[in-house]
Amino acid sequence: MEISVSRQDLLRELTATQSVVERKTTIPILSNFLFEAGDDGITITATDLDQSIRTTCAAKVKKPGSCTIPARKLYDYIKLLPEGDISIKLLDNHWVQIRSGRSNTKMVGMARANFPQVPEFPEASITRIPVASLKSLISKTIFAISNEESRYTLNGALLILKAESIAMVATDGHRLAHIEKSGEDFPGIGPEKKTLIPRKALSELQSLLSNTDAEALDFADDDHTLYFRIGARVLTSRKLTGQFPNYEAVLPRDNNKFVVVRSEDLSGSIQRVAQFADERSGAIRIRIEQNELKISSSSTETGESEDTIDSPYTFDPIVVGFNSAYLLDFLKAIGNTGEVRLEFKDSQSAGQMRPEDGSEDYKYRYIIMPMRI
């Protein structure tokens, strides 16, 4: 194999793929990129066996072929090279020579035969999803995914496609984020299609969606694998098995007390008061009475704090405890702008938050379990 490629193009594709590469792997080949040179350019693949990214890059191919190159070392080295063309040539014993200007480097590769087979994108039953919608859905739910390995059906978010809408829901058992975007058009979808996407794949997808000009991506799946094609890049991920919990059962129906406050004011107050909350639980107390919302916390080690926000409120007074970090996660997701509505039933039932001035297309709600304080 022998190719010549522009540093800028190569670095862009290596940046997109290197995050999938295993840092500390017991299988050495997984620390490598697979380079395959064909007639019209090169394909670069990285995998950790759970997921893979395959991307293409324009190049002058002097001699077709393939090789594997240590990913981290190659990425760090290419970053340090000046702009210009880079030539990559496979030598004997899987060594790879990299030349650029007056720099000449040889790296120790591994046999191409050892690189795992990566599944091919299935061209049947593709669903096209708008990039902007999916990006928004991921950013509004990813923080609510559970980190507990034992609850593996909660280690991802549920994507729900219907003929005219797209929704995503994530929960860790203590809080739940649900967002739905209407006005979409998925002609091939029957009544609905539910897909559980692992957190790792979602964060990879988030980064690919942030670095593309494409307006839509192709989504497909088979029995074991999810496929996302964004422009010339294909992300595959192993499916999460198991049943996502029945989230509709926990959506509050009768939270009839509500207060509307500016997101910025609420976020500022919670951050100040949370400094004095119990470090382990992060619990703060919210008390709402006649036109006033009081946020307070206390701990024997650090002291106590209280903030008051004026806001119209005409219902019975209510006192409820919440994990401050969970509230701040939601406020950060909506960008700390505009107003937010807090809805309650009583101090033992789940509270609900939603943007007060949300757009017509997006319906976003966040359900959070109360804490005893």
- Residue 352's domain is classified under what CATH number? 3.10.150.10
pTM: 0.93
CA distance 44 to 159: 28
Domain boundary among 193, 228, 248: 248
Domain boundary among 51, 82, 114: 114
The answer as to whether 343 is a domain residue is yes
CA distance 288 to 317: 6
The answer as to whether 119 is a domain residue is no
Nearest of 171, 307, 319, 308 to residue 257 by alpha carbon: 319
262: left (phi over 0), alpha (psi -120 to 50) or beta: beta
The answer as to whether 121 is a domain residue is no
The answer as to whether 361 is a domain residue is yes
**Domains in the chain, number:** 3
What does the pLDDT profile of the chain (373 residues) look like in tens digits? 999 999 999 999 999 999 999 888 889 999 999 999 998 899 999 999 999 999 999 999 999 999 999 999 999 999 999 999 999 999 999 999 999 999 999 999 999 999 999 999 998 889 999 999 999 999 999 999 998 877 778 999 999 999 999 999 999 999 999 999 999 989 878 789 999 999 999 999 999 999 999 999 999 999 999 999 999 999 999 998 888 999 999 899 999 999 999 999 999 999 999 999 998 999 999 999 999 999 999 999 999 999 999 999 999 999 999 999 999 999 999 987 899 999 999 999 999 999 998 677 899 999 999 998 7
CA distance 124 to 144: 33
**Do 191 and 268 fall into the same domain?**
no
Strand ranges (E), 9-134: 32-38, 41-47, 51-57, 60-63, 65-70, 85-90, 95-100, 103-108, 127-130
Per the DSSP assignment, residues forming a β-bridge with 45 are: 34, 54
Domain of 137, in residue numbers: 127-248
Domain boundary among 214, 230, 248: 248
